[in-house]
Structure 1
Amino acid sequence: MSVIDRPDTIAERLDDKALFRTDSFIGGEWVAGDATTEVFNPANGQVIAEVADVGEAGAIKAVAAATAAFETWKKVSPFERSKILMKWNQLILEAQSDLAKLITLEMGKTYREAHGEVVYGASFVEWSAEEAKRIHGETLDTPFPGSRGWTIRQPVGVVGCITPWNFPVAMITRKCAPALAAGCTMVIKPAPETPLSALALAELAKRAGFPDGVVNVICGDAPAIGGVLTSSPDVRMVGFTGSTAVGKLLMKQAASTVKRVALELGGNAPFIVMDDADIEKAADGIIASKFRVSGQTCVSANRLIVQPKVADQLVAALEARISKLKPGDGFASDSDLGPLIHMGAVERVDALVQQAREAGAKIVTGGKRLDSELGGSFYAPTLIDGGTAAMDVACNEIFGPIASIYRVETEEDIIKLANDTPYGLAAYIYTRDVGRVHRLSEGIEYGMIGINAPMVGAASTPFGGMKESGIGREGGKWGVEEFTELKYVLLGGVD
């Protein structure tokens, strides 16, 4: 039985707290495995689903289905592909309440945030549907007499898509929609923590009219499935969002077939507040960037680099705001922060905070586990002052509701500290000096920079990082081009 065998009753079944038992989706059919894995609600630790583990055999079957489907899908008119994508977008938006419930149930973010994710995820489908009709080559001048030259963009082929748990809908649509628009077929491996959203998207894709085998979702043992996706010569590209460590492993594995990779990896985002900034707006921006999804985003503000002249004012503004944030079950209407994904995440975040405390930093507010009080994997929203570059909280991607202040005087030292990390995904700068905007944005090594803006992602703009934060770009025309091969044709003997 599939979790979405009757999508019109998903809401009722969620309200009844029924235990889902669901298969993987391969070649347009629901396929069982030899084993199952459990899915937990991080707000209370309860098992909510049993999902078929199809393992290596299922991955091989899915690759074969996608390979066969590619031969016909790549020949489908871009205008027809656009229509099917538009239908998928429509179905996702119509099902946004049910999809949001699935997200909150399996991942924990607040129902309000989950609704926003569904709309955000659908925007990539809509954009890609429009972009499908605009994938084209160019005519070129050549140095050879009596010749003509042109380029063709064609789909790269079968794409393996490995997605994380923090945005279980949007991370799939951000990769799959542009690939499908380009004419590629997909084998999707969702995070084991959040498979239900991916399987629901697969059902909606089938209803939208994607031919069997174009969209496949497989669940189960990550090393076994990942090994197939990276080693199979039939898979021409692997797209991955997740940790830098896993990204490096996939890149190494993909090298055996010189497979193209698109990697969106970890971050250690600086949030720079200059002494001429609007401090109240900067504080609002930090709350939006840092505490969204309880800090579990790759673009979340990690290090608050502040000029000393305004540091105390900013600390006071943040303390007032953070003290009002209420952690709780994502379905509760008054919850501002949901749980962390599991207890391991709580333990990791708490270790970072305690190490900072022992190193001499001040815990302004928070700094404690809430699992004994709230019953799930919760951590108090926390503000740390007096951070130094040597602290673990400064050197690691936090992925939790922890904000730490670093007081730095000069622009040169601010740029140096901001760049003192192997990561280079997102950064934020608050200043009203246009000269500083240019100097800082050109000096720091990040793929995306928000100036007086706490969020940077949109379907129409490039998303991606530098250094060990990844390779490639998602979003906009660049996101579609990632999934195409550029072919050059030279025609001689024209004259």
Structure 2
Amino acid sequence: MKDSALALAPTGLLIGGQWRPADGGGVIEVYDPSTAEPFAQVPDATVDDALAAVGAAAQAGPSWAATAPRERAEVLRRAFELMTERAEPLARLIVMENGKALRDARGEVAYAAEFFRWYAEEAVRASGSIGTAPAGANRILVVRQPVGVCVLVTPWNFPAAMATRKIGPALAAGCTVVLKPASDTPLTALAMGAILADAGVPPGVVNVLPSRRSGAVVSAMLHDPRVRKLSFTGSTEVGRILLREAADRVVNTSMELGGNAPFLVLDDADVDAAIAGAMVAKMRNGGEACTSANRFYVHRRVADEFSRGLAEAMAKLVVGPGLDPATEVGPLVNEPAVDKVDELVSGALDGGARVLTGAGRPDGRGWYYRPTVLADVDPAAAILREEIFGPVAPLVVFDDVEDAVAQANDTDFGLVSYLYTGDLARGLRVAEALEAGMVGLNRGLVSDPAAPFGGVKQSGIGREGGHDGLLEYLESKYIAASW
């Protein structure tokens, strides 16, 4: 099974339609988080490789932009079909380098493939407009044109979905791309490159560059005048750096950055439904998701019932290697990730929090952390201020809804919020008051390829998914004409 999964990922850089070693021959070791042992190598791209990829993308750009929208759509449709056909080995490949449970990886592959299907449908809908100037002097024609060469920088937590969420709209719009995946999970990105090549993407339209020299490689591309767009998903800290880099040449940017999602349970909520939703919002991908519920605000009237039920549900989760079909929570991606989660939990306990279940690392090999629920968390604790990115749910009790909303909004981040209530009108009022780009109202999952995904404040710029996601890769050109 491992051999069939690894066969999906060519161990080379994809530049101009060719698989090749890195300039200088450097390699990246890829580790299995369940054992903390390396199992594969891929080339470690250099700045010269990056500029070669930009050159290939620039050369392929005019022809791809001139390709009929329906033809671009058919290529994306074939990519969707190939991903669906190869879903099981692709899911196993994700598990091998990312660590997530196989059921989560299967869900990611299905979700990732949907971006190719959705943007196959959107490729033919990049419509412009025509009108008459108010003064009657001329017509106003607006046409949509592809931005140009795009640099796509993706994270390790959803190595397939974060790639397709960017590649899909870029190709639908007529852009060419250079994908720089996270160095922890390069194999899935290379498998995406192979799938797109098999689907008929012309050489140079999609280039894939794994590299541990992320700063130097991305900086070099952003300072190349042929690059017109940066789309980045990752931490706010790195996003700030890239925004400064992009400013030097005024590169068009889209950013999906950090989150600190609140999960509010009001006094009239269906507690069983809220617990079920909390398990989805918190434990999707083992908590390693930017949309993961990071802090729970529960009304005092239902706090005991909710905390008891959540702790029971978390305690039942099976922790183990992701490829084991019984596993529900796999390891975290690397040792620093475990260290950070442990540090946040220890800080909360030092501040008076109580452990309802979990806490700490289980014995044995691999980068694991026990699913954890903490009660009586100090509202000023670091675990409520920082993104946990692990299987830990800290609980805070509130008495007043307005106070809960104020606490939920008391953050620099605003990606997603979750809210459970039995009163729809009340829920909509609270949803409007929450400072977030997305709100899950009586739902623990908001992600959908057909919906605009993105945040406010320091959680990002722009939107991915939906028709909005296509527009991120198009420029509007106004033509004044008289006839």
Place the TM-score, normalised by the shorter chain, in its bin: over 0.9
Query: Contact conserved, 2:10 with 2:19, CA < 8 A, in 1?
Result: no
Q: Distance in 2 between matches of 1:228 and 1:98?
A: 34
Give 1:289's aligned residue.
Answer: 281
1:233: Cα distance to partner?
A: 1.4
Give 1:67's aligned residue.
Answer: 58
1:435: Cα distance to partner?
A: 3.1
Give 1:222's aligned residue.
Answer: 214
Give 1:306's aligned residue.
Answer: 298
Give 2:396's aligned residue.
Answer: 406
1:21: Cα distance to partner?
A: 7.8
1:31 matched to 2:46: no
1:394: Cα distance to partner?
A: 0.5
AA at the equivalent of 1:341: V
- Select which of 470, 475, 492 maps to 2:460: 470
Query: Contact conserved, 1:189 with 1:219, CA < 8 A, in 2?
Result: yes
- Select which of 315, 323, 328 maps to 1:336: 328
SS at match of 1:74: helix
Q: Distance in 2 between matches of 1:397 and 1:107?
A: 19
Give 2:156's aligned residue.
Answer: 165
1:415 matched to 2:405: yes
Give 1:5's aligned residue.
Answer: none
Extract unaligned runs of 5+ from structure 2: none
Give 2:372's aligned residue.
Answer: 382
Query: Contact conserved, 1:229 with 1:238, CA < 8 A, in 2?
Result: no
Query: Contact conserved, 1:363 with 1:385, CA < 8 A, in 2?
Result: yes
Extract unaligned runs of 5+ from structure 1: 1-10
For residues 100-111 of structure 1, the aligned pairs below 5 Å read: 100-111=91-102
- Select which of 248, 253, 261 maps to 2:253: 261
1:136: Cα distance to partner?
A: 0.8
Q: Distance in 1 between matches of 2:135 and 2:181?
A: 50
- Select which of 429, 442, 454 maps to 2:444: 454
- Select which of 487, 491, 494 maps to 2:477: 487
- How many residues get paired? 480
Query: Contact conserved, 2:10 with 2:190, CA < 8 A, in 1?
Result: no
TM-score (norm 2): 0.97
Runs of 4+ aligned structure 1 residues displaced above 3 Å come to none
Query: Contact conserved, 1:55 with 1:219, CA < 8 A, in 2?
Result: no
Per-residue CA distance 1:269-291 (angstroms, 9 max, x = gap): 00000010000110111111101
Q: Distance in 2 between matches of 1:376 and 1:186?
A: 35
AA at the equivalent of 2:226: D
1:154 matched to 2:145: yes
Structure 1 range deviating more: 144-153 or 404-413 = 144-153
Give 1:112's aligned residue.
Answer: 103
Q: Distance in 1 between matches of 2:123 and 2:4?
A: 36
SS at match of 1:88: helix
Give 1:138's aligned residue.
Answer: 129
SS at match of 2:452: coil
- Select which of 239, 242, 246 maps to 1:250: 242
1:198 matched to 2:189: yes
Give 1:428's aligned residue.
Answer: 418
Query: Contact conserved, 2:2 with 2:92, CA < 8 A, in 1?
Result: no
Q: Distance in 2 between matches of 1:82 and 1:333?
A: 36
1:146: Cα distance to partner?
A: 4.4
AA at the equivalent of 2:302: V
Per-residue CA distance 1:192-216 (angstroms, 9 max, x = gap): 0001011011111111111100000
AA at the equivalent of 1:405: L
Query: Contact conserved, 1:21 with 1:49, CA < 8 A, in 2?
Result: no
1:378: Cα distance to partner?
A: 0.2
CA RMSD of aligned residues (A): 1.4
Q: Distance in 2 between matches of 1:412 and 1:454?
A: 22
Query: Contact conserved, 1:127 with 1:459, CA < 8 A, in 2?
Result: yes
Per-residue CA distance 1:15-62 (angstroms, 9 max, x = gap): 8x99x8811100000121121110000010111111101210100000
Q: Distance in 1 between matches of 2:279 and 2:85?
A: 30
Percentage of identical aligned residues: 43
1:292: Cα distance to partner?
A: 1.5
AA at the equivalent of 1:463: F
Give 1:391's aligned residue.
Answer: 381
Query: Contact conserved, 1:169 with 1:198, CA < 8 A, in 2?
Result: yes
Give 1:22's aligned residue.
Answer: 11
Q: Distance in 2 between matches of 1:369 and 1:315?
A: 22
